[in-house]
Structure 1
Amino acid sequence: MTTATATLAPAASVAVIGLGAMGLPMATRLAGTMTAHGFDIAADRVALAAESGVVGFASAREAAAGVDAVLLAVRNGAQLHEALFGENGIAAVLAPGAVVIMTSTVGVDDVVAVAERLQQHGIALVDAPLSGGPVRAGEGDLLIVVGASPEARLVAAPVLERLASTLSVIGDRPGDGQAFKTVNQLLCGVHIAAAAEALALADALGLDRAATLETLAAGAAGSFMLGNRGARMLEAYDVDGAEVLSRLDIFVKDMGIVTAAARANALATPVAAAAEQLYLLGQSHGLAAADDSAVIRVVSPQRAG
C-alpha cells in the first residue's frame, strides 16, 4: 500500500470543487499565493472565479488532475462518496501523495470510511471542518479544526494557513476533526435555539426587542450565537426575512449528526434533542432554505411586526 510520507512538499497547487457561497471566496483567496483551479456546475461562478485569478475548468476531474490538494465541500456523506468515487469521481485522477481537504460537517463514520479508501491509492484525507461565513473566508479569517496525519498536514498547510486565522490540530486521524465539529455544533445549535426562545419570551413580555438584545449581549447571558444570530432574529419577520448566511436545514443535518453520535455512544443529550426538534419543525414549516435565525418563527409564529 502506498501512503503519503514526510518527504512530500507543501502544496503549491489546489483545486476548489464547488464555487458557491464559501467555495468562491476561498478559491479567490488561495489564488493570491498559489495556483488555484476551480470548478462549479454553474458556468457563471467559474467566470467570477476567473476574474480573481482562479483557473476555471469544465469538469471536476479536469480541475483536480495534477494538483497537490483538492478542497472539497459537500452537503453530506453520500455526496462525499459520489464526489470522490462516483462515475465522475475525482479520486481517479489524483496522483499518489495528493491530499483531499474535506471542509464539511458530515460525521465521523463517512470520513473514516473515505479516508481508508483513499489511502489505498496513496491519497491522504485531511479532515478540516471550518466555521465562518463567506466574508471571513475571503479574508482568511476562518476557524479550521484539523484531524490528519502529520504528513498530510504538511502538504495541506499552505491551503489551511491561507484560509484560517485560527487553525487547531485536534488529532492525527481523519475523523478527529468531525468528532470535534460534532461537539461544536451541539453547542451552536443549542445556543441558537435558546436565543430564539429568549427573544420570543422578551417579545411576549412586551420588552423592546433591540434594547433587550443589546443588554443581554452585554451581560452574563451573552454568547457569540446570541450576538451573531440575535440581530438576524429581529429581522426574521420582515417580508424577506434575514439575509441567508447559514441555512436552517444545515442545523437539521448537524443536529442529526449530534444526536446520532450521542445514541451510538449511549449518551443522553436531552437539550440537544430538544433543539433538533425545533430545526425539524422549522424545516416542516417551509423554512429549510431560510437563515437559521428563522427558528424563532417556530417558537413565536404569530409575532407582530
Structure 2
Amino acid sequence: MKKTGVIGLGDMGSGLAKNLIANGFETKGFDLSGERMKAFVAMGGTAAQNAGEVGAGTDAVYVMVMNGDQVKDVIFGDGGLCQTMSPGSAIILSATIKPREAREIGDMMEGSGLHLIDTPVSGGFPGAQGGTLTMMAAAPASVLDEFAPVMEAVSANIHRVGTAPGDGQTVKACLQSLIGSQFSATFEAAALAAKAGVPGQVILDVFSTSSAGCGVVNNALQKIIDRQFEGTGSHINTMHKDLTISMNLGEELGVPLHTAAAAMQVFHAGKTRYPNGDNWICTRVIEEIIGAELHREEAKKS
C-alpha cells in the first residue's frame, strides 16, 4: 500500500488525512498550526517538521493550502516536495487555485520525474470529513489509474475532467461561479422572508422540497435559521477566494459573469464586515440593512 502525506491540515486537509488513515494508509502531515498538528497525531498521523519531510519516502502527497503562492512554496521552496519526493511519486493538488497557476506549476515540474494530479474538490467540510468529496481530476489516465486508491479513500465521486494541469482548476472555477451565485441568492431570499415575517422553518420546508432545493441551498438555510455563522467549517475567506478565481478566469476568456459578479460583491461585503465568519454570515449584512432576522421558529425585527 502506498504511503501518503497531507500538507495543510485545516477543515479540508484534516478530513483528507482522517480518511487516508481510516483506509489504512500510512500518512504523514504538516501544518503551521500546532493545534492542528496535535489533532492530526491524535487521529493516527505522523507529524513532519516541514513540507519536504512529508514528501520524503512518500508515494503521494495532497497539497491543501490556500492559494497558488503557497502551493509553489510547498513544491519548489527550499527543501520542498520537488527536492524530497522520489521519481514516480505524485503531488495531488487538491487546493483551489487559478488555472494558469496550475499550468505554471506543471511547467515548473517538467523533468522532475514527479506526477502532478490537478484535482480540486467540492463538498466542503462535511464532504472532507466524511470522505465523500467530489474530485475534478486531471492527469494522464495511467497516473490516475495508479493513484486511484489514494483518491478513492477521500472521494465518493472522481471525475476525470482532463489530462493536463489546469484542467481540474478550470472546471472548479466554473463550479464555484454557480455555487457562489446559489449562496448569494439564498442569503437574499432568507432576508426577504425575514422582513416579511415568515418563520425560517417554513422557508426551509418549502425550499428544500421545491425545485430550488439542493445541498447548497438547504445547508445554507439550516445555518441561517439556527444562527450558526462561525465555526461550521466553511470560512468565508475560501468562497471569497474561489469567486475571485472564477471572475479572473472570466476576465481572461472574455466571458461576462453577471450573476457571479453580484455574488462576489455579496461575499466581499460579508468578508469585510465579518472577517471571521463563515459563508452564511453574508446574510447578517443584509439583515442589518433591513432590520430583520430569520430564525427557525419566527422572523425577528429590530
User: Fold-level match, TM-score > 0.5?
Assistant: yes
Query: Shift of residue 290 of structure 1?
Result: 0.6
Distance in 2 between residues matched to 1:52 and 1:206, nearest whole Å? 46
Structure 2 partner of 1:28: 18
Structure 2 partner of 1:143: 134
Distance in 1 between residues matched to 2:43 and 2:281, nearest whole Å? 34
Unaligned runs of 5+ in 2: 294-299
Q: Deviations over 1:107-142 (max 9, x none)?
A: 200001101111221112101111223443243211
Residue 16 of structure 1 aligns to a residue whose secondary structure is strand
Confirm whether residue 14 of structure 1 aligns to residue 9 of structure 2: no
Query: Shift of residue 288 of structure 1?
Result: 2.6
Confirm whether residue 300 of structure 1 aligns to residue 287 of structure 2: yes
Confirm whether residue 58 of structure 1 aligns to residue 49 of structure 2: yes
Runs (4+) of structure 1 moved beyond 4 Å? none
Structure 2 partner of 1:253: 241
Structure 2 partner of 1:85: 76
Q: TM-score, normalised by structure 2?
A: 0.90
Residue 15 of structure 1 aligns to a residue whose secondary structure is strand
**Conserved? CA contact 1:126–1:156, under 8 Å:** no
Alpha-carbon distance change, 296 to 138 in structure 1, aligned in 2, over 3 angstroms: closer
Residue 300 of structure 1 aligns to a residue whose secondary structure is helix
**Conserved? CA contact 2:230–2:276, under 8 Å:** no
Q: Which moved more, 1:215-224 or 1:181-190?
A: 215-224
**Which of 253, 261, 272 in structure 2 is aligned with 1:265?**
253
Query: Shift of residue 242 of structure 1?
Result: 4.5
Q: Deviations over 1:149-179 (max 9, x none)?
A: 1232133212101111111111111211111
Alpha-carbon distance change, 271 to 139 in structure 1, aligned in 2, over 3 angstroms: closer
**Which of 284, 299, 302 in structure 1 is aligned with 2:272?**
284
Alpha-carbon distance change, 233 to 147 in structure 1, aligned in 2, over 3 angstroms: same
Confirm whether residue 198 of structure 1 aligns to residue 189 of structure 2: yes
Letter in 2 for 1:288: P
Distance in 1 between residues matched to 2:232 and 2:118, nearest whole Å? 26
Structure 2 partner of 1:161: 152
- 1:224-263 map, 5 Å: 224-236=215-227, 241-263=229-251
**Conserved? CA contact 1:68–1:155, under 8 Å:** no
Query: Shift of residue 65 of structure 1?
Result: 0.6
**Conserved? CA contact 1:232–1:242, under 8 Å:** no
Q: Deviations over 1:176-207 (max 9, x none)?
A: 11111111101100000000111111111121
Distance in 2 between residues matched to 1:12 and 1:105, nearest whole Å? 24
Q: Which moved more, 1:136-145 or 1:221-230?
A: 136-145
Distance in 1 between residues matched to 2:150 and 2:28, nearest whole Å? 13
Residue 119 of structure 1 aligns to a residue whose secondary structure is coil
**Conserved? CA contact 2:118–2:166, under 8 Å:** yes
Distance in 1 between residues matched to 2:236 and 2:36, nearest whole Å? 24
Distance in 2 between residues matched to 1:138 and 1:206, nearest whole Å? 36
Letter in 2 for 1:262: G
Q: Deviations over 1:201-235 (max 9, x none)?
A: 11111212221221122112323211011111223
Letter in 1 for 2:122: S
**Conserved? CA contact 1:101–1:156, under 8 Å:** no
Distance in 2 between residues matched to 1:39 and 1:251, nearest whole Å? 23
Alpha-carbon distance change, 116 to 44 in structure 1, aligned in 2, over 3 angstroms: same
**Conserved? CA contact 1:40–1:46, under 8 Å:** yes
How many residue pairs were aligned? 291
Q: % of aligned pairs identical? A: 28
**Conserved? CA contact 1:17–1:60, under 8 Å:** yes
Q: Deviations over 1:246-293 (max 9, x none)?
A: 1112122111111111111111111111111111111221x2321101
Q: TM-score, normalised by structure 1?
A: 0.89
Query: Shift of residue 298 of structure 1?
Result: 2.4
